Amino acid sequence: MFRSVPPSPADPVYLLSQRVRQDTAPEKVDLGVGVYRNEKGQYHELRVLKAAKRILAQQDANHDYEVTTGNAAFLTNAAKVLFGREAEILSSKRVTSVQAISGTGAIHLGALFLARTPAFKGKKVYVGTPAWGNYVPLFNLVGLEVVTYRHYDASKGTVDLESMLEATKTAEEGSIFVLQGCCHNPSGADFSPAQWDELADAMEAKKLFPLFDMAYQGMGASLDEDAYGLRLFANRGFELLACQSFSKNFGLYGERVGVLHAVSQDVEVASKVHERLRCLIRWEFSSSPAYGARLVNIVLSDGKLRQDWETELARIQKRLADNRRALHAELAGKWKAQGNWNSILSSSGLFCFLPLSPQQCKRLADDFHIHMLQNGRINVAGLNASNIEHVASALVKVTGAPSSRL
């Protein structure tokens, strides 16, 4: 029977991870998978997590199931991080929050909810490209059709706002737009506040539905600044979904801590949404992992730990910005490298695109042991003081450079 199983597409991120593991060269540089690495190229555990683990151990929490929709205190604290502690939509109880299996699980649950809601029957999902590779299969999996438009202008290294606004003009009323709130994956190209304002005007005029992917809040700027777009839409009265992950900003990748939030018109609708999501969770995976959510809740419930967390995030932001400046200085300053490297500085968060062809990316891996996705996306956190010069030198060699520097 299993002979009838159809072939499956390859996963570029999985294949890249395999190649990185197999490369034993001492000069190996991993600029691929989207995990924050410290200056030594290793997993970085936040100090507040160490403190939260000690507190949790003293509490002697058991390993019983959490309730289907997740611990209420955790969900309340998570919503405050996303929407703001004093947000009116929280005090008016118009936000429904349920725990999900990290950000990916939140998007899947949100997609499933939309696909099974009559008002969205036949509606299309609009995704700006280049995009996170899971968007299209996630929405196709629940029967939703995806339409793409251009999010990123490679020639400028910035958002292609014109293409975005054109997509809103041609989309039918009620169409779903997937919006990354900050630290765009894979480009790192984010909307400015003024562009968010313009986009909100355009989507409101066409009565379009926003689905926010908030996987990197606090990795680009402050928690509040990174949530500007989402809060703007919520405060302007949009019904929307917001998918929240604590993988990156807490370093809890393997614990799969995420939340799906739905903003409704009133408390009665919010109650119906909650019951529907409860059913979908129960029918599909019953409940979410408890350990990571407990750690997050300990930090968010304690004023000092919460402040320590934000301080640690600020250090991460600074290091990512410093890495960008250092790489750009090597390429544009020291080496006078050919090409436009402005995307390094115009991007935000973990990622940016380098102006490389797949062949050049392959040569970087084969000849210099520098690993990245074939589209030129790099994880800026993979850079450090010990490898930036090596990376810049290799980039110059594969892209062409003045002979005086080689």
Q: Please, are residues 205 and 169 in contact by the beta-carbon 8 Å criterion?
A: no
Question: Could you confirm whether 283 is annotated as catalytic?
Answer: no
- Residue 153 has a CB neighbour count (10 Å cut-off) of 16
What does 109-144 look like in DSSP terms, one character per residue? HHHHHHHTSGGGTT-EEEEEES--TTHHHHHHHTT-
Cis? peptide before 402, omega within 30° of 0: no
Question: Could you confirm whether 132 is annotated as catalytic?
Answer: yes
Catalytic residue among 226, 248, 309, 341: 248
Residues 154-157: contacts with CB within 8 Å, 24+ apart? 154/343, 154/353, 154/355, 155/340, 156/342, 156/346, 157/189, 157/340, 157/342, 157/343, 157/346, 157/347, 157/352, 157/353
Catalytic residue among 30, 190, 213, 226: 213
Q: Which single residue is written with the structure tokens 């009133």?
A: 266
Question: Could you confirm whether 397 is annotated as catalytic?
Answer: no
CA angle 141, 129, 147 (to 5 degrees): 50
CA atoms lying within 13 Å on the CB side of residue 342: 8
Tokens of 394: 């290799």
Q: Please state, in angstroms and rounded to a whole number, the distance separating the CA atoms of residues 398 and 211.
A: 39
Pairing type for strands 209-214 and 176-180 reads: parallel
Tokens of 321: 């910005």
Q: Please, are residues 32 and 13 in contact by the beta-carbon 8 Å criterion?
A: yes
Q: What is the dihedral of CA 97, 283, 217, 309, to 10 degrees?
A: 80
Catalytic residue among 132, 309, 335, 341: 132
Active site residues: 132, 213, 248
